[in-house]
Every structure is written in structure tokens, then in C-alpha cells.
Amino acid sequence: MSALLRRNLLERILERPGARAVPDSPGEAISRFRDDARQAENAVSWTLDQIGLGLFAIVAVIILLTVNVMITLFVFIPLVCVIVTARIMNAQLEKYRIASRKATGRVTSAIGEICGTVQAIQVAGAETHVVEHMRTLNDARRVATLKDSVLTQTLNSTYENTVGLGTGVILILAAQALHSTQLGVGDLALFIYYLAFITDFTQEFGFFLAYYTQTKVSFQRMVKLLQGAAPATLAAHKPLYLSGPEAAIPAVLPGTIHEGERLETLEATGLTYHYPDTGRGIEDISLRIQKGTVTVITGRIASGKTTLVQVLLGLLPGDAGEICWNGERVSNPASFFVPPHSAYTAQVPQLFSASLRENILLGLPEETVDLHAAIHTAVMERDLEELEDGLHTLIGARGVKLSGGQAQRTAAARMFVRPAELLVFDDLSSALDVETEHTLWERLFDRGKRTCLIVSHRRTVLQRADHILVLKEGRLEAEGTLEYLLENCEEMRRLWSGNDEGP
């Protein structure tokens, strides 16, 4: 059951726009995959136990009624007390469970961030601060978890003692009835035997009510991770292959594109997006990309360059705007702008703790692609010679064994190995030296006329551009050729003069 929940959650995350795949931090998402899915599975499992105990309790009540109606009615007093107590403490249980889960998520997120930024922490000499921060988070988690645990155990103890006291009162009444000859010895033995079924159910039912309330919190957290999908998506039937032979995974092959779908023009009008937490973003930006041209997006830091690219590619859900490929409206950019339509290299490369070869291919059969050509275009031949195992070198989590330039070129090779009509680079050459950058662009364009959309401020790239868009504070300040912009756009002149790359 928990495997099905996790599988459906992961599928939904992979369907979401890449830059908004999870609503909170990855660590918080992991907490929901681990703890909340397990909680839901236990709740369903315990439901079956309660049904079984309930059936036994019903039969026991019927038998006890045949023994003595008046004493049997006292059996329901502990059950009523348990239900009333559970209803009174319902809100408090939810509150403490939410706080406990949030505190756990913050700790998980912090661990992930620390492990991914060890070098930055060491360079800044911030080890003591980081340890203190972790201690603070863990203290908060300990307090929240303790409150949740103590309340749960207190309620369980209350239910157990209520049932125990009730059972004692009932047995005293039964003993008095025996003394007054209303019950025989056999009746008393029968009463005591079947009373155990009822008391067990009452006690377990109290535990279950508390657990059910906490499970409600878990389902709410998992539904939030679905981000708009129907809650029923969580439990949709899908094959899991938990036993028996594994399902055959089809080979991932490079996509092919029909002649009529080849890029001629890409137009975007009125693209708008505002980040929910800050309200900043881009406002009413339009652009047009022609086949075989190089379009460059430039601007100051935080001018909206990356946001524009991510909205165009569907990595962020735009607030407004329309995108057309060869005049045809693109209804779902997130699923459309993938190979063979487009390929994308992000500003911060996303690499995995696997070999360099696996990071480039990402599931593509090597025999179906030109891996050597992709490595050559990405200017990685010398790097492969220096790496201990060449293409089979394990690069560590997030490519920690690679330099910044090597990580960027690995991501570029991953893009080059997948044929695409439009190549999108987000500040690809920011970590490259001038010579390597020059070689990369030369090799890329030597392979033929390519359609490229590039985010950059580097003069080498700007000089190659057929068309440049200048952004300022989330808006399109000006556009045109480099010569035109240097003559007519003050913002472009500032960017050009402030670039210390050289002539």
C-alpha cells in the first residue's frame, strides 16, 4: 500500500513543471514519501483489525445480553467515554502531528542541503554555525515530536485505564449478582470470558481513533504534494512488480520529429509570471525565434532571464501568455519542449551520483546515439584523459568530483547527445575560460546551422547573436542586433561596458 502511494506521488512529481515539481523543499517531500505513506498503510491495516475486533465484540454483546441485560448495558460506558475523549482531543492531535511532521521535514531538508554544499561551508569556515543550526532544528524537532508522542501515549493510557476501571465496576456488579443468585457460576465464567472481547475492542478503538486523526494529517500532506491533482490519484491502481519477474523496461530511444513539425518559427506573446513568495518575475514579454538563428537573452542579475526561459519551456507555470510553434499553439509547454523539439541546459547543472557516462546518456542506449560527437562538441576530451576512469568515473553526488566548468560541459554533452530542433542554454559558459568557451561555440556551429536560445552576458556570445533581448526588472527593455542596441539602448551599453571579459 505504501509502495503504491509513493509510486503515484513520484509519477505526479515527474508530471509537474520542473522548477515547481514539489511545493516545499525536497527534504520535506522525502518526509512525506517516508513517514506519511507508512502512516497511511498502517491506518488501513489497523482498520481491518478493528473490523475483526468489532465483529467479535458484537457477538460478545449479544451473548452477554442473554446472560444479564442490566450489567451488559454498563459495558458501553467505557466505549462512550473513549469516543467522547477522542472527539475532544481531535484538534490537539492534529495540531501536534502537523508540528511534528514539519519539524522533521526541516531537519531532513537541512541535512540534504548541508551534504550538497560541504565545500561552500568549508570555504566559508561556517562549520560551527551549521552544526549550531542543526542543533537548533533538532531541538525543535525533539520538542514537537515529544509533544506529539506524549499526547498520543497519554490518550492511549487514558483509554486503557478507562476500560480497566469500567471492567472492574462490571465485575463487581457481576459478583453481586452472583451473590444474589441472579447469576450462576457458569454464567459468571461466560460473562468474564466474553467481556474480554468487548474491552479489547474498546481499548483498541480508542487507539485507532487517535491514529486515524493523525492519518488525516498524513493524507493532507500527500495531497498537497499532488499540487492540484485529484486526491484519488494517490490510490490509482498501477502495477508495482513487488514479486515475480520485473517488468521489461523499454529502451529509451532518441526522439524523431516529423518533417512538418520541424522548427520554422517559435513565437511567445505576453509571457508573465510572478513568484508567489516575492511577487517578482517577468511581465508581458514577447519574443520570436527564427530557424537557424542565435537569440540571446541578456540583462543584469535578477532581471528575469532564467525565469523567462523557464516559463517558455514550461518549467514554470506561466500566469499569462501564449506560445506558438510554427503558428500552432502549444497547450502544454512542459511536455512539448523536450527532445526532439528542444533540449535545455540549466544554469546550475543537475548531475547524479553515477558515472559520467550514465549522467550524459540518462537511459539512452549508447549504440543509438553519437556519444563521441557529443563529448567532442562539449570540449571534454582532455577532461576524460585526466579523470581516473574516463567515462566510467563516478562523479559523486551532484557532480562534486567535477569542477564547475566540467559540470556545465557534462550537462551540455547530455543535451548534445539528444537531437533537438531548439537548443536552449542558460548561461552555459559562466564557469568556462575564454578559450574553452570559444572552442565550444565553434564546434557547436561547425555541426551546421543551429537554432539556439542563449542566456548570457558574455561578449563572445553577444557577438554571435542574430537577435538580442535586453531585460530589465522583469520587462523587455529593448531588442535587436548588437550594433543597434549599442547605439540605441542605454541598458545594453551599461552591460557591454561593465563586461570585463575583454574586446
> Which domains, ranges and CATH numbers included, belong to the chain?
2-235 (1.20.1560.10), 263-498 (3.40.50.300)
Cell numbers found for residue 472: 530589465
User: pLDDT at position 191, please?
Assistant: 77
Helices 76-88 and 185-226: crossing angle, nearest 10°?
20
Where the chain has pLDDT below 70, the residues are: 180-183, 250-255, 499-503
User: pLDDT at position 500, please?
Assistant: 47
Let me know: does 357 contact 392? Beta carbons within 8 Å: yes
Count Cβ atoms within 10 A of the Cβ of residue 206 and give its class: 0-12 exposed, 13-18 middle, 19 or more buried. buried
Nearest to 40 by CA among 231, 242, 199, 267: 231
User: pLDDT at position 501, please?
Assistant: 52
User: pLDDT at position 331, please?
Assistant: 92
Whole-number Å distance between alpha carbons of 96 and 141: 11
Total residues found in the chain within this entry: 503
Cell numbers found for residue 366: 549508447
User: pLDDT at position 64, please?
Assistant: 84
Whole-number Å distance between alpha carbons of 101 and 130: 22
Cell 561593465 sits at which residue? Answer: 498
User: pLDDT at position 118, please?
Assistant: 81
CA distances from 391 to 105, 217, 358 (A): 36, 46, 8
User: pLDDT at position 184, please?
Assistant: 75
Let me know: does 130 contact 121? Beta carbons within 8 Å: yes
User: b or e along 367-400 (b: 16 or more beta carbons within 10 Å of the residue's beta carbon)?
Assistant: eebebeebbebbbbeebeeebeeebebebeebbe
